[in-house]
Structure 1
Amino acid sequence: MLPLCWMSVVLDGFDLVALAVVFPVMLSEQVWGLTPGSASAIATIGLVGMTIGALMIGTVAETIGRRKALIISVACFSLFTLLSAAAPSAPVFTILRFAASLGLGGCLPAAVTTVAEYKARKGQSSSATTTVMTGYNVGAVLCAVSGMVLIPQFGWRVMFVAGALPAFVLIPLMLRNLPESDVFRAARDAAVTRAQVGRDALAGLFRDGFLRATVAFWVATFMGLMLIYGLNTWLPQIMHAAGYSIGHSLGFLLTLNLGAILGYLLGGRLADRKGVRKATIGWFVGAATFLATFGLRLPEPVLYGVLFLAGFFVFSSQALVYAYTQRVYPDHVRATGVAWTAGVGRLGAICGPLVGGGLLSAGIAYPWGFYVFALVGGLGAVAAWVVPATSPAGRKTSSPGDVAEVAAAVPARTEDGH
């Protein structure tokens, strides 16, 4: 279960970073007459596709099941990624990337919901969520390394082939070995029709006391993704503006992402033990604190340490928001709640690079860029604090394993997950 979902997110991360790897080559070779402006437009259209995909996947998962929704997402982005390698023109390439992004947007929410519900019986839903999300960073690193090795030999198109081919192994494994969520199966066994679930799930995010939590989750994930995409896009340039060489700046970016992986692993485990609400608030506060510290002139060894800690908190604070939704939303709207939280958050992913670019254009990226991002982290903490300590569904959000009783009541899975 967990390895298959993790691998799907690895492919997701690989595909998401592929454009950043191939665009410099495409621009230098003047492929289809691309300019920085047209390349940015393609990337933005992809983010729009991801937003739509994330918003759609919740209803799909509530209707046909988490297992099928995840497999469809992986098949969608892998197919259109492979076709992107053969695109004959910029308009066709843009359409294919948009189609692939629909699957990319749905993959992470479906994977997170699947593993969280499976691990909830052991009180490990938060650590399962954050562990799966390390796949994004691993995929991103693999994509960057693959680009350095493959592009000089085979050209930029090979990256989309490399990103798609593993799915031909992964999807058959998922079809055979990935079980369906106990929660979805319990709802089906209780004679709740799939049409009813799909129709009512979205409305359920705003009624019965969930409106406050829903809006707070949307704000928190908006802030979290704004931090991640803003820093990953502009950190080298901001540090260069502070007087560091480009070589040092790339080292800073690597340190940031290494800290992220450890933050994912430890943040989820702490959330399972001490409560996901406290962990989420604390992680956003930590992100804000260490980002604000960058405004000070620090010795370089200290700076690397602070940057590692910033990455430790920034990335996993967003992962903990997804884990937090698993505790608050009841079974019949959980997949929709996670999906809409991710979808609305994608707007923050668009705004983060825009804010960083605006500060750079104004010549005030250092130190004010870090102060602005620290403020964003602080707002994320406030949003997490606004979520009620007791779920409207009648559970304490600080205690794990909310679907354990449901899972125990569901018959054992068959080999094919049905």
Structure 2
Amino acid sequence: MSAPSTWSGPEHRRSVLWVVALAAIAIVFDGYDLVVYGTVLPTLLDDPTQLGHLSAGTAGALGSYALVGVMIGAFIAGTFGDRVGRRRMMLMNIVWFSVGMGATALAHNLLTFGILRFLTGIGIGGLVATAGALIAEFAPSSKRNVYNAIVYSGVPAGGVVAAVLALVISDHVGWRGLFWIGALPLVTLLPLAFVKMPESPQWLVSRGRIDQARAIGARTGIPVHIAPLPDATLATDEPEKVGFAALASRRFAVPTLLLGLMSFAGLLLTYGLNTWLPQIMKSAGFDAKGSLSFLLVLNGGAIVGGLIAARLADRRGPQRIVATSFCLATFALIGLTLGFGLPVLLAAVAVAGVGTIGTQVLIYGYVSNYYPTSARGAGVAWCAGFGRLGGIVGPMIGGLLIGAGISSNTAFYIFAGIALAGAAATLLVPQSAQVTPAPVVAAPSARLATAE
């Protein structure tokens, strides 16, 4: 079963752009959640009347609870997403994380705050795991990596939004107001998604629900392709495996391990640098505002560079571009140790953003297009879930290095080595396991596209 390489008409384009926009806005709140805790942490540390006395160690644990929740949420979405559908998973998780953010704003002690951070993370993990599968099944094949990059660039964009709002309005709304902002999708994004986000026709076809797929195709202009067998490249004498069972099959076991290691490296670098870059640069002699500017440049570089790299991935294939992006991070992080002037340092941080946060954006696109429809949700969930272990380890590594008094140069060398290991894992992913388009037969409807 294959998607068209371009638009079948204006209605198709309009429908897909709605899906991309809604998914991107949802993913913005992953980035928002990542950074908003850091923006309110100084208040919680300095004012015990907010939640109680908060030590540095407890603060670090609270920061990790949401990441553990994200990991669990991703695996839950992978377990059920390939069975219950993309639309249903997106809507449920928008409700879940919105309610969680609002409830967190009402917390009055550390225990409740930590539990709600964990529960909110489950909803965010479900969104991250589902969005990639959604875009892979709606976007034309020539634009999949770009649209995945747009959607997952919501992570650094959400971080920027959280940082800016904290600077501008935190004195007026307090830390609780910043969490209430995280609950706004319940009354803004959810109604739009309910109306404008259809179920994936490709997923419906893979589940044998042909009539429903045709009805959605007729209503939205999205081409519907009917293959003799769902994901015919996997056709065997045995029943087709779905979800995580397919990932564990002989065909996908090794690629799944390597893709998971790629995501582990990407998210370790993303969370490690987002957490500790300001402190590392401060220890290198920059003042507080100057060190914070490096964080904004890191995320800004990830957004711009990630979109450019995704465009190249659509033209030349994602594997080569992801490996190159990891290598760029290696060189940029080493460059930060060479004592260059501020303009060169900022440029190196921007490139490091492309090679770390931007690379993770590319990895989600790579993974979502690597697996067949029957395993796509589980594949992205594995990538997001196992990768979050890297997100948990990254800040821990940074904290251990800073706590041990190790120089900033050594910290950058360690992160550079992790980026190089990510590039090696990328190059080892087997080409032969990638899904190739199967012969398809047009469904008997005037609105259904023929095979290319």
With normalisation by structure 2, the TM-score equals 0.84
Aligned twin of 2:205: 186
Pair 1:386 & 2:428 matched: yes
The whole-number CA distance in structure 1 between the counterparts of 2:317 and 2:208 is: 31
Aligned twin of 2:371: 329
Aligned twin of 2:81: 61
CA offset at residue 309 of structure 1? 1.5
The whole-number CA distance in structure 2 between the counterparts of 1:387 and 1:371 is: 25
Aligned twin of 1:12: 30
The whole-number CA distance in structure 2 between the counterparts of 1:199 and 1:54 is: 20
Q: Which residue identity lines up with residue 391 of structure 1 in the other structure?
A: A
Q: Which residue identity lines up with residue 175 of structure 1 in the other structure?
A: F
Aligned with residue 176 of structure 2, among 157, 165, 176:
157
The answer to whether the Cα contact below 8 Å between 2:103 and 2:116 also exists between their aligned partners in 1 is yes
CA offset at residue 52 of structure 1? 0.4
The whole-number CA distance in structure 1 between the counterparts of 2:310 and 2:149 is: 5
Determine helix, strand or coil for the equivalent of 1:364: coil
Aligned with residue 28 of structure 1, among 30, 40, 46:
46
The whole-number CA distance in structure 2 between the counterparts of 1:107 and 1:408 is: 32
The whole-number CA distance in structure 1 between the counterparts of 2:250 and 2:345 is: 47
Q: Which residue identity lines up with residue 13 of structure 1 in the other structure?
A: G
The whole-number CA distance in structure 1 between the counterparts of 2:353 and 2:337 is: 16
Equivalent residues in 2 for 1:105-120 (5 A)?
A: 105-119=125-139
The answer to whether the Cα contact below 8 Å between 2:156 and 2:357 also exists between their aligned partners in 1 is no
The whole-number CA distance in structure 2 between the counterparts of 1:340 and 1:187 is: 20
The answer to whether the Cα contact below 8 Å between 1:63 and 1:197 also exists between their aligned partners in 2 is no
Aligned with residue 288 of structure 1, among 315, 321, 330:
330
Pair 1:253 & 2:295 matched: yes
Deviations 1:99-118 (A, max 9, x none): 11100111112112111221
The answer to whether the Cα contact below 8 Å between 1:186 and 1:406 also exists between their aligned partners in 2 is no
The whole-number CA distance in structure 2 between the counterparts of 1:110 and 1:337 is: 10
Q: Which ranges of structure 1 fall in alignment gaps of 5 or more residues?
A: 396-401, 414-418
Q: Single out whichever of 326-335 and 71-80 deviates more from structure 2.
A: 326-335
The answer to whether the Cα contact below 8 Å between 2:265 and 2:419 also exists between their aligned partners in 1 is yes
CA offset at residue 305 of structure 1? 1.5
Aligned with residue 347 of structure 1, among 385, 389, 396:
389
CA offset at residue 271 of structure 1? 0.3
Aligned twin of 2:104: 84
Q: Single out whichever of 32-41 and 42-51 deviates more from structure 2.
A: 32-41
Deviations 1:332-391 (A, max 9, x none): 001101101110000100111111111112222321111111100000001111101222
Q: CA RMSD in A?
A: 2.4
Q: Which residue identity lines up with residue 332 of structure 1 in the other structure?
A: S
Q: Which residue identity lines up with residue 36 of structure 2 in the other structure?
A: A
Pair 1:170 & 2:189 matched: yes
The answer to whether the Cα contact below 8 Å between 1:57 and 1:339 also exists between their aligned partners in 2 is yes
The whole-number CA distance in structure 2 between the counterparts of 1:249 and 1:111 is: 33
The verdict on how the C-alpha distance between 1:172 and 1:315 changes in structure 2, with shifts beyond 3 A counting, is same
The whole-number CA distance in structure 1 between the counterparts of 2:446 and 2:295 is: 45
CA offset at residue 211 of structure 1? 1.1
The whole-number CA distance in structure 2 between the counterparts of 1:22 and 1:412 is: 55
Pair 1:365 & 2:384 matched: no
The whole-number CA distance in structure 1 between the counterparts of 2:445 and 2:331 is: 47
The verdict on how the C-alpha distance between 1:387 and 1:411 changes in structure 2, with shifts beyond 3 A counting, is farther
The whole-number CA distance in structure 2 between the counterparts of 1:383 and 1:132 is: 24
CA offset at residue 246 of structure 1? 2.6
Q: Which residue identity lines up with residue 117 of structure 2 in the other structure?
A: R
CA offset at residue 412 of structure 1? 9.3
Q: Which residue identity lines up with residue 92 of structure 1 in the other structure?
A: T
Determine helix, strand or coil for the equivalent of 2:249: coil
Q: Which residue identity lines up with residue 61 of structure 1 in the other structure?
A: G
Deviations 1:124-176 (A, max 9, x none): 11111111011122222222222223321232211111110233111111111
The whole-number CA distance in structure 2 between the counterparts of 1:75 and 1:288 is: 39
Q: Which has the larger radius of gyration?
A: 2
Q: Which residue identity lines up with residue 34 of structure 2 in the other structure?
A: L
CA offset at residue 200 of structure 1? 3.4
The verdict on how the C-alpha distance between 1:34 and 1:363 changes in structure 2, with shifts beyond 3 A counting, is closer
Aligned twin of 1:135: 154
The whole-number CA distance in structure 2 between the counterparts of 1:239 and 1:183 is: 48
The whole-number CA distance in structure 2 between the counterparts of 1:198 and 1:22 is: 48
Pair 1:3 & 2:45 matched: no
The answer to whether the Cα contact below 8 Å between 1:63 and 1:198 also exists between their aligned partners in 2 is no
The whole-number CA distance in structure 2 between the counterparts of 1:407 and 1:178 is: 26
CA offset at residue 19 of structure 1? 1.3
Q: Which residue identity lines up with residue 151 of structure 1 in the other structure?
A: S
The verdict on how the C-alpha distance between 1:110 and 1:65 changes in structure 2, with shifts beyond 3 A counting, is same
The whole-number CA distance in structure 2 between the counterparts of 1:409 and 1:376 is: 48
The answer to whether the Cα contact below 8 Å between 1:182 and 1:406 also exists between their aligned partners in 2 is no
The whole-number CA distance in structure 2 between the counterparts of 1:77 and 1:411 is: 39
Pair 1:45 & 2:65 matched: yes
Q: Which residue identity lines up with residue 349 of structure 1 in the other structure?
A: G
The answer to whether the Cα contact below 8 Å between 2:20 and 2:147 also exists between their aligned partners in 1 is yes
With normalisation by structure 1, the TM-score equals 0.90
* Identity across the alignment (%): 37
The answer to whether the Cα contact below 8 Å between 1:182 and 1:410 also exists between their aligned partners in 2 is no
